[in-house]
A and B are shown apart, each in its own frame.
Chain A
């Protein structure tokens, strides 16, 4: 029996996911069977897929042709290192989410659990097929299945009008993006009609057309990833979806868009022009700054995380932009560094953001509350969720020694070496970008502190929070798995980089891994140990040691007494939960400093109000400057076209009659 290739295993994994989904349809109302059997099987499949891709890394590409699809248009599949890196991400992150979902979907929300199971596993399978596809046709089929299955997942609770609206917006932007991707593929085939990726690699495009292909791909994949200005669906769709779905979309689906962008810009187009990098860099910077600013002012915990996802995607785009710039100037070492930062941030973000989204799901189930202003204090009631969420929060804030820090640090290292660029404008402008990235990182820390502090710390803002209970064992296991990924990526960056090195090699011809391997696993020094290095294990040891020492000193000096008492009350005798900082109050300084960036509607209580209240509504400028004008234009054009639709049969007959006569006269042979 011939040995199974890694590609075959991944294909079987995709089929297995599909089969698990179909099995869910057999007993659509049997929640126990679906949650406790099918979702764990899905998790197992994910683990197998991830492990297979991990084992494959570094091998030569494997290809296959599937006889499904249209006649004469089979599916081409290919497994190479870039695919493998993202398949690892998909496989391992889906393990955590599926295990969590096994505990989460116990009640069934809106849609029947069997249908949900089908959509969820179809979503997973189609994402894997997106990664494996090796021709434009297979890619688009998988891409659209992914969009549609996730649309149905977003609209799980479709009885609410705003959720249907969110789903519609998502579907609309997904399709606009898909059109751009298709056009990009069309440009890259150069009219040869050969839509296989090999055919696209073989075409030599003129600078104009290759730029067109790149910009279309940036727009199309950006629409899926949430780059400015096509980000608006993200903060609507993520809060609408059930938490495991938000986790899957934010953690994994956005990364498939990044995968597509990398695939097109470094693999398929074949050339690189320096200003592409500048475009990606600027879009990424704008997205990151926009995302983080808006995430700081949100009062809904899932919206906060959704905007934070926009920010992280922006950072990844910045890293890709830097890679393009360095690659165009043949500065290979630095290109490899920036590419590593991009891939690492993909991995890190999918770990910690899924973790945080799942944690919001647990909080939501425990308290039935998603508004930050009504939460507070459950760290004592749900310690598991709180502490695991803290792991994700630290990573999200970009603090050492967890995963978020590594990638942001690598990115900033890439920026610091940019003065070597042989372009006078660039080497002046790019450091400004570095400053912006630093600001974004700081604000991300602020947003994460807000997220964790307002949700978990302090006193309970509402009475009913006393009934909050900790998550079940399935949910804890899922959260712990993602927490483990976050910690491992944070503590063992050199090992992780030596694995994704193969993908960097494939795209750029160079990697960071060899240089790092020479320095030992504990140290991360991307350029040289003399310039900058980071030893996460030592960092972790120092932190752990100082915490333990502090604890020991406290116990020693204060005889182990722990006293719970009133905080310093500044002379006010009343210290109720209402006296705490609210979500809005916490972010008020940011709102004030960056006021022009927001479109705010505020209501202040007057002196004589019977029932004084304060409200603030922060809206996106893009809605009013870009989307509403487009919507108005479309509406105007439609009303013109509606006039054609008289609703009278005679009119319709007249249309076809006149067309017939006109065609007869025009197409008349002479």
Chain B
């Protein structure tokens, strides 16, 4: 694998690594509002990288995907989340179940696993972007890890949405994106999911006077 990598692929790899970096940053972030901002940056970088792929491979439908990503994940969803956080007054610290440094170490382990797992798949793929598949998988896993380790509801939702970012990156890198219908469907799902979860935030807070989901253990049968 020592042949010269074309510039286009290098650009794409650069964007992908920025996404991974942002995923780590989100994992390490202790506050809610910066977390949402990081999520918005990740969406933005994802949109740019998709547009770059579209430009280099002449896959015009990917422009639509990029636009959709930009509108939805970089602008609309962060705006909704911002509003929610302001209305719920939960701007302050995030409690983590595991200490942040430990989480980071676990995250590094996950990245190693993801790259190893993705290697045989990316060898099967013939796309210019195949190198980013491991990164995509890693960012899915990191987002998942964030969902596990956070105790408050808002970061969990951010984790959920960031996981979708990772999946989108994986789809772009492995097969130049999914069919438009599927993509639109997923985008709509994410939007509706975010709105429903927003409603649930209010419900949870009304029930327990906090957004700490550890309270939900009380719902268990005896």
Question: Are A649 and B216 neighbours in the complex by a CB distance under 8 Å?
Answer: yes
Report B-chain residues with C-beta under 8 Å of the C-beta of A660: 144
Count of A residues near B, CB < 8 Å? 16
**CB within 8 Å for A668 and B120 given contacts A646-B217, A649-B216:** yes
- Tell whether A654 is near chain B: CB-to-CB under 8 Å: yes
Q: B149: CB under 8 A from chain A? A: yes
**Known: A647-B216, A647-B217. Contact between A657 and B144, CB under 8 A?**
yes
CB of B213 within 8 A of chain A? yes
Residue of A nearest to B217 (CB): A647
Q: Flag if B113 contacts A648 (CB, 8 Å).
A: no
Could you say which of B113, B121, B141, B156 contacts A649, with CB atoms under 8 Å apart? Answer: B156
Not counting A646-B217, A650-B97, a sample of 14 additional A-B residue pairs whose C-beta atoms are within 8 angstroms of each other reads A647-B216, A647-B218, A647-B219, A649-B156, A653-B144, A653-B148, A661-B110, A661-B113, A664-B117, A665-B117, A668-B116, A668-B117, A668-B120, A669-B120
Q: Which residues of A contact B23 (CB under 8 A)?
A: none
Interface residues of B in 196-222 (CB under 8 A from A): 213-214, 216-220
Shortest Cβ gap from B165 to chain A (Å): 17
23 of the cross-chain contacts (CB-CB < 8 Å) are: A645-B220, A646-B217, A646-B220, A647-B218, A647-B219, A647-B220, A648-B214, A648-B216, A648-B217, A650-B148, A650-B151, A653-B144, A653-B147, A653-B148, A654-B148, A657-B141, A657-B144, A661-B113, A661-B141, A665-B117, A668-B117, A668-B120, A669-B121
Instruction: Tell me the B139-155 residues at the A interface (CB within 8 Å).
Output: 141, 144-145, 147-149, 151
- Min CB distance B190 to A, Å, is 18
CA distance in complex: A650, B103 (Å): 14
User: Which chain A residue has the least Cβ–Cβ distance from B140?
Assistant: A660
Bound: A648/B216 CA distance, A: 7
Closest B-chain residue to A669, C-beta based?
B120
A665 contacts which chain B residues (CB < 8 A)?
113, 117
Minimum CB–CB distance from B170 to chain A (whole Å) comes to: 13
- With A657-B144, A664-B117: A650-B220 Cβ-Cβ less than 8 Å: no
Contacts A649-B216, A650-B151 known; A657 to B145 CB distance under 8 Å? yes
Cα(A105)–Cα(B99), bound, Å: 69
A670 CB–B CB distance under 8 Å: yes
Interface residue SS majority, chain A = helix
Inter-chain contacts of A668 with B (CB < 8 A): 116-117, 120
Complexed CA–CA distance, A648 and B141 (Å): 20
Interface string of A634-663 (1 = CB under 8 A from B): 000000000001111110011001001100
A649 close to B117 (CB less than 8 A): no
State the Cβ distance, A610 to closest chain B Cβ, in Å: 41
Which residues of chain A are within 8 angstroms of B116 by Cβ–Cβ distance? 668
Residues of A within 8 A of B145 (CB): 657
Number of chain B residues close to chain A: CB under 8 A = 22
What residues on A are CB-neighbors of B121 within 8 Å?
Answer: 669
CB neighbours (8 Å) of A645 from chain B are 220
Nearest chain A CB to B175 CB, angstrom units:
17
For window 105-129 of chain B, which residues contact chain A by CB distance below 8 Å? 110, 113, 116-117, 120-121
A104-120: contact bitstring with B at CB < 8 Å (1 yes, 0 no)?
00000000000000000
A664 contacts across to B, CB distance below 8 A: 113, 117
Chain A contacts of B144 at CB under 8 A?
653, 657, 660
Taken together as a complex, chains A and B put the C-alpha atoms of A653 and B145 apart, in Å, by 9
Query: Which residues from chain B contact A654 at a C-beta distance below 8 Å?
Result: 148
Rounded to whole Å, the gap between the CB of A668 and the closest CB of chain B is 6
**B137, closest chain A residue (CB):** A664
* B149–A650 touching, CB < 8 Å: yes
Chain B residue with minimal CB distance to A650?
A: B148
* Chain B contacts for A653, CB-based, 8 A: 144, 147-148
A 461-474 binary contact with B (CB < 8 Å = 1; else 0): 00000000000000
Flag if B220 contacts A649 (CB, 8 Å): no
Complexed CA–CA distance, A648 and B220 (Å): 9
B142 to chain A, nearest CB (A): 11
User: Which A residues lie within 8 Å of B213 (CB)?
Assistant: 648-650
Interface centre among A645, A661, A665 (most CB of B within 10 A): A661
Distance in angstroms from A650 CB to nearest chain B CB is 5
Bound together, the chains give a CA A35 to CA B113 distance in angstroms of 71
CB-nearest residue of chain A to B113? A661
Nearest-neighbour CB distance to chain A for B103, whole angstroms, equals 12
A649 to B218 CA separation, bound complex (whole angstroms): 12
Interface string of A269-293 (1 = CB under 8 A from B): 0000000000000000000000000
Per-residue interface assignment for chain B, residues 155 to 190, with 1 indicating a CB less than 8 Å from any chain A CB and 0 otherwise: 010000000000000000000000000000000000
- Give the chain A neighbours of B218 by CB distance below 8 A: 647
**Cβ contacts under 8 Å, A648 to chain B:** 213-214, 216-217
Q: What residue in chain A is nearest B117 (Cβ atoms)? A: A664
A66 CA / B113 CA spacing, docked (Å): 55
Please, what's the 1-or-0 string for B60-94, where 1 marks a CB less than 8 Å from any CB in chain A?
00000000000000000000000000000000000
Looking across the interface, which residue of chain B has its beta carbon closest to that of A667?
B117
**Shortest 5 CB-CB contacts between residues of A and residues of B:** A647-B220, A647-B217, A653-B148, A664-B117, A669-B120
Chain A proximity of B207: nearest CB distance (Å): 15
**A649 partner residues in chain B, CB cutoff 8 A:** 156, 213, 216
- Decide yes or no: A657 and B148 within 8 Å by CB, A647-B216, A647-B220, A649-B216 being known contacts: yes
In chain A, what residue has the closest Cβ to B98?
Answer: A650
Quick one: closest A residue to B222, CB to CB?
A642
Measured between alpha carbons, how far is A56 from B144 in the docked complex, in Å?
68
Q: What are the residues of chain A within 8 A of B151 when measuring CB–CB?
A: 650
Q: Which residue of B lies closest to A661 (CB)?
A: B113
> Which of A645, A646, A669 has the most chain B CB atoms inside 10 A of its CB?
A669
Min distance, Cβ A152 to any Cβ of chain B, angstroms? 26
- CB neighbours (8 Å) of B148 from chain A are 650, 653-654, 657
Residues of B within 8 A of A657 (CB): 141, 144-145, 148
Shortest Cβ distance from residue A12 to the other chain B in the assembled complex, whole angstroms: 48
Bound-complex Cα distance A669 to B144 (A): 23
Q: For the complex, what is the distance from the CA of A665 to the CA of B121, rounded to whole Å?
A: 13
> How far is B117's CA from A665's CA once the two chains are assembled, in angstroms?
7
How close is A657's CB to chain B, nearest CB, in angstroms? 5
A669 to B218, CA, bound (A): 43
Complex Cα gap A670–B119 (Å) = 10
Kindly state the separation between the CA atoms of A649 and B159 in the bound complex, as whole angstroms.
13
Chain A residues with CB under 8 Å of B97's CB are 650
Tell me, in angstroms, the Cα distance from A325 to B156 when the chains sit together.
69
Tell me the smallest distance from the CB of A39 to a CB of chain B, in Å: 43
Least Cβ distance of B36 to chain A in Å? Answer: 20
> How distant is A338 from chain B, measured CB to nearest CB, in Å?
53
CA distance A429 to B219 in the complex (A): 62
What is the CB-to-nearest-CB distance from A102 to chain B, in angstroms, rounded to a whole number? 45
**Nearest chain A CB to B77 CB, angstrom units:** 21
Task: List, in ascending order, chain B residues with CB within 8 A of A646's CB.
Answer: 217, 220
- Contacting pair B120 A670 (CB below 8 A): yes
A669: which B residues are within 8 A, CB to CB? 120-121
A646 to B147, CA, bound (A): 17
Nearest chain B CB to A670 CB, angstrom units: 7
Q: How long is the Cα–Cα vector from A664 to B151 in the complex, in angstroms? A: 27
Cβ of B95 to closest chain A Cβ, rounded Å: 12
Scoring A649, A653, A661 by chain B CB atoms within 10 A of each residue's CB, the highest score goes to A649
Return A661 CB to nearest CB of chain B, in Å: 6
Q: List the B residue with the shortest CB-CB distance to A651.
A: B148
- Cα distance, A593 to B214, chains bound together (Å): 63
For B147, list chain A residues within 8 Å (CB): 653
Question: Smallest Cβ distance from B110 to chain A, in angstroms?
Answer: 8
Which residues of chain A (174-225) have a CB below 8 Å from chain B? Answer: none
CA distance A653 to B120 in the complex (A): 27
Complex: A334 Cα to B151 Cα, angstroms: 77
